[in-house]
Amino acid sequence: MNHWKNLFKPLLILGLIFPLIGQQGEVVPLTKHVGYTLDAEENQYYEVFPEISNFESAQFFEINNNRIEARISFVEYTRIKVSRRAYTQKEFIDLQIRLNQMPEITDKIRESFRKNLTYLRTEEILENIQTGQYVSVKHRNGKWVRGTLLSYQKERLLLQTPFAIKQIPISKMEQINYREKIIQRPEWKMHFYGLAAVLGFGLMESWNRQTQPAWGQQWHNRFLGAIFGLIAGAEVYDTSMILLSKKNQFGLTPAELDKINR
């Protein structure tokens, strides 16, 4: 009696596990040219799951003789999630026939689609943003956080804002705007510095006329105005180069991607 009691628990566990193993099914190819995994570029081209936002990949499993199950991976706030869809054998064969009638996807087509699949390269893009850049981040609460990028570590952006240092997890981001490369126009520097110095000199000259200080103090004020103008000119030059550089917009959600691509 005790022997059967001891066997009961292992047999019960096996009885529960084996049906689950059977439900996993065997992965089957969608078509010869697609293979066992449908990727994001192929999904856009063949329109297998056009309604799935931020599609990442899908595989098809034969559960039994009349049931094929698609397991679809998609990205939601940089996290991979999975959904399932069932097909009858006829529905799956009809899908295969439709795809086989279409021309095979080419490398050129893949490249054209890849430009709009930035949500698959979130980590890569954030890691390649140069520190010291001014970036704008849209939080999931709808607010924008703007500041200088200090670092990107452990899936968090560290930004220096005018009042504090803020950490923003990428899972809380909806959009980020940044400039991949800051242009340089060294031939413009003298124009910026010269104009800023003249403006600083002119402001202090206006101050001299209003206050009527002694002759020596007047030249001291003019000298300070020109110096501060030169310092301001350097800042204005750097800011102008940033603003004139091409801005990249990177959306992490379907809604933000739609806004950017309009």
Mean pLDDT of all residues in 96-115: 92
- pLDDT of 159 over the 50 cut: yes
Confidence band (pLDDT; 50, 70, 90) for 258? low
- pLDDT of 261 over the 80 cut: no
Mean pLDDT of all residues in 76-88: 86
What percent of the chain has a predicted confidence (pLDDT) above 70?
A: 85
- The contacts of residue 197 (CB under 8 Å, 6+ apart) are 226, 229, 230, 233
Q: Among the listed ranges 12-16, 187-191, 215-219, which one has the minimum average pLDDT value?
A: 12-16
Residue count of the chain, please give it. 262
Q: How far apart are CA 223 and CA 215, in angstroms?
A: 13
3-state secondary structure of 61: strand
pLDDT tens by residue, 204-226: 888 878 888 888 887 888 888 88
Average pLDDT of the residues of the chain:
81
pLDDT at residue 83 in the model: 93
Neighbours of 213 (CB within 10 A): 13
What DSSP letter does each residue of 180-208 carry, written as one string?
SS----GGGHHHHHHHHHHHHHHHHHHHH
pLDDT at residue 11 in the model: 42
Q: Among the listed ranges 1-5, 137-141, 153-157, which one has the minimum average pLDDT value?
A: 1-5
- pLDDT of 3 over the 50 cut: no
Q: How far apart are CA 40 and CA 175, in angstroms?
A: 20
Q: How far apart are CA 161 and CA 168, in angstroms?
A: 12
Confidence band (pLDDT; 50, 70, 90) for 253? low
Beta bridge partners of 167: 158
Mean pLDDT of all residues in 231-255: 74
Q: How far apart are CA 7 and CA 137, in angstroms?
A: 59
- pLDDT of 4 over the 50 cut: no
- pLDDT of 118 over the 60 cut: yes
pLDDT at residue 14 in the model: 41
Does this model's pTM top 0.85? My answer is: no
Q: Among the listed ranges 6-15, 73-82, 246-255, which one has the minimum average pLDDT value?
A: 6-15
pLDDT at residue 204 in the model: 85
Beta strands in the chain, from DSSP E residues, in sequence order: 26-28, 38-39, 55-64, 67-76, 79-87, 134-139, 144-153, 156-160, 165-169, 173-178, 248-251
73 dihedral zone (left: phi>0; alpha: psi -120 to 50; beta): beta
